[in-house]
Structure 1
Amino acid sequence: MALYTLENVTQRYGNREVLRIPHLAIEEGAAMGLRGHNGSGKSTLLRILAFLETPATGRIIFDGVSSPGNAFERRRHVTLLTQEPYLLTTTVRKNVAYGMKIRGMDNVDESVDKALSQVGLDPERFAGRSAHELSGGELQRVALAARLAMRPRVLLLDEPTASLDKDSAVLIKNAVTAARTELGTTLVIASHDMSWLESVSDSMLCLYEGQPSERDV
């Protein structure tokens, strides 16, 4: 059984239809890439999969339960990393631990250290630093560590390597691949970096003007 099944899902912003997905199934543990031009609907689809937006029409079945369901409960299993993630004005450790504490998870410090190590940040060097002292690549990796620490069932990534150097992109690839291998985390990733995206994904969905397409982008 697929973890996600979308049936006749559409989304509208005002009078403009921005997404139309007649059918989409995502298997648990899969790594699906999303490709398409800016404005093709990738970010909208990710927000719908994260249960941060309710589609205008259609049905989403998640883990066998049809929408609307309990969106708050579903969000406990799904997390989205945006291109420009927001971090709290506090230490790296508190940023990474924040989601765990909200969820009442145990072994917070141990999980924070492991997550930072997974993204190539030495906990002894970085955990006590202010988030505002970090470079762009370090900020993105801290934001990813915060999501990995929650051990999500689904990890959604929107342009995770945009503006990052090659080394940071490799570290992010290794971290999300490890989450899939070790925890069975389902990955859905939107990126314009085709070589990077193809190296992480085992299937690909191309969107063109909000709809699945076979055309090359």
Structure 2
Amino acid sequence: MAVKSLNSIRRNFSPWTDPAAKPYIQFENVTKQFGDFTAVNNLSLTIYEREFYALLGASGCGKSTLLRMLAGFDEPTSGRILLDGQDLRGVPPHKRPVNMMFQSYALFPHMTVEKNIAFGLKQEGMASADIAKRVAEMLKLVKLEQFAKRKPHQLSGGQRQRVALARSVAKRPKVLLLDEPLGALDKKLREETQFELMDLQQDLGLTFVVVTHDQEEAMTMADRIAILDKGEVMQVATPQEIYEAPGSRFVANFVGSMNLFEGEVTRRDETSADIQIGPDLLIRTVNPGNSERKAGVNYAVRPEKIRVSSKKPEETGVNSAQGEIFDIAYLGDVTNYNVKLDDGRIVKATVINSNRLAEDPLTWGDRAWISFKPDAGIVLTR
């Protein structure tokens, strides 16, 4: 597919910040039980029209159950699900203005690409001429015109994924539900297809709700991410907010890599705070959150915000500590270090390899300093 910039579209799209904006999809106090097991627990979410919304979480967190209830395959035990103001309870799947694309793609192996795309349209009784026109539009949209006569086994994984997408949107649903849509693709193709999905969503003007356990996938594609755990919402925010300002220890640990320092607030004013971490590390932060003096807190800082050097920082005693290089992982673009501080705690640091040869080469067993700026991390109180 042709690559185009979505910067202006995505930068200005934030209806959730507008008090007058009306949610398109609403989960209101939804609970879903399977016998004694509660898959979704009194959950509420709002999704806006044309939003690319990701449900992110580990296996068993309830994200696929939410998708199935929205599609009509399962009914909530209690609570309501509304789409454009309509309560969906009792509405069968085929009468809901949604379509679902499964991870397996579920293509008919004996049918050609064009017949796979046309299948749902024929089931609805659309006229043959209109079907042919719609199928041609879909083939052009996913750039598969030259593969129209092929069968699924003659296509690559990425091409089969596009066929499944074309079939899913051929009926022009109001909402497209995607259950781990890129799980069957290899890493490089998955990364390319993420941007293709974003382009497709903007071209069609649809609302996309995607279920994934892949953090990078959610961060790349979604306007907002809902992080779930044990059937409950842990945080809903934009990818940048999720990464830079996690709302809890769970979210901080779940998304990306994180260093968590547990300590006590020894000083606090309106703009900053000091946190004593053990005997040797004093953290000064300009992101004190709602912490209070003498309270126990966690200070969270990402590995890429931490500097590792053999040279002593200009200011020691604040946001710096000394230790020993414990582990090294060279990944080409970055090098990951585990530094064992003198008090025994392990700190993770990620250094960008901006030069072909390291300016300050460090190896296993070397003494090194870790340091970070006052605005590098945030204070978590829960």
TM range (shorter): 0.7 to 0.9
Pair 1:7-2:24 in alignment: no
Compute the displacement of 1:58 (Å): 1.1
In the alignment, what sits opposite 1:161?
182
Pair 1:80-2:103 in alignment: no
In the alignment, what sits opposite 1:112?
135
Distance 2:141 2:194 in 1: 9
Compute the displacement of 1:158 (Å): 1.1
| Structure 1 or 2: more helix by fraction | 1
Distance 2:132 2:191 in 1: 26
The structure-2 alpha-carbon separation of the partners of 1:110 and 1:173, relative to structure 1 and needing over 3 Å to count, comes to farther
In the alignment, what sits opposite 1:185?
206
Pair 1:62-2:83 in alignment: yes
Compute the displacement of 1:105 (Å): 4.2
The structure, 1 or 2, with the larger RCO (C-alpha pairs under 8 Å, 6+ apart) is 1
Is the 8 Å Cα contact of residues 141 and 172 (structure 1) preserved in structure 2? no
In the alignment, what sits opposite 1:170?
192
Compute the displacement of 1:46 (Å): 0.7
Q: How many residues align?
A: 213
Distance 2:190 2:63 in 1: 23
Q: What is the TM-score when the length of structure 2 is the normalising length?
A: 0.52
In the alignment, what sits opposite 1:127?
148
Distance 1:178 1:110 in 2: 22
Distance 1:92 1:99 in 2: 13
Compute the displacement of 1:128 (Å): 0.9
SS in 2 for 1:161: coil
Identity %: 38
SS in 1 for 2:149: coil
| Structure 1 or 2: more strand by fraction | 2
From 2, 21, 29, the equivalent of 2:50 is: 29
Distance 1:139 1:131 in 2: 6
Distance 1:183 1:71 in 2: 25
Distance 2:59 2:43 in 1: 21
Structure 1, unaligned stretches of length 5 or more? none
Is the 8 Å Cα contact of residues 34 and 189 (structure 1) preserved in structure 2? yes
Of 45-54 and 136-145, more deviation after overlay is shown by 136-145
Counterpart of 2:224 in structure 1: which amino acid? Answer: S
Compute the displacement of 1:141 (Å): 1.9
**RMSD, matched Cα:** 2.1
Runs of 4+ in 1 over 4 A off after TM superposition: none
SS in 1 for 2:68: helix
SS in 2 for 1:213: strand
Counterpart of 1:197 in structure 2: which amino acid? Answer: A
In the alignment, what sits opposite 2:242?
none
The structure-2 alpha-carbon separation of the partners of 1:95 and 1:128, relative to structure 1 and needing over 3 Å to count, comes to same
Distance 1:186 1:48 in 2: 16
Compute the displacement of 1:179 (Å): 4.0
Q: What is the TM-score when the length of structure 1 is the normalising length?
A: 0.87
Instruction: Note the alpha carbon deviations across 1:27-65, whole angstroms, 9 max, x for none.
Output: 111111111001111111111111221111111122112
Instruction: Note the alpha carbon deviations across 1:163-205, whole angstroms, 9 max, x for none.
Output: 313235523542x334432332001111233223222211110
In the alignment, what sits opposite 2:355?
none
Rg bigger for which structure? 2
In the alignment, what sits opposite 1:194?
215
- 1:32-43 alignment, distance < 5 Å: 32-43=53-64
Pair 1:145-2:162 in alignment: no
SS in 2 for 1:28: coil
Is the 8 Å Cα contact of residues 3 and 63 (structure 1) preserved in structure 2? yes
In the alignment, what sits opposite 1:90?
111
Instruction: Note the alpha carbon deviations across 1:53-103, whole angstroms, 9 max, x for none.
Output: 11111111221122425335642x101111112122311111111112223
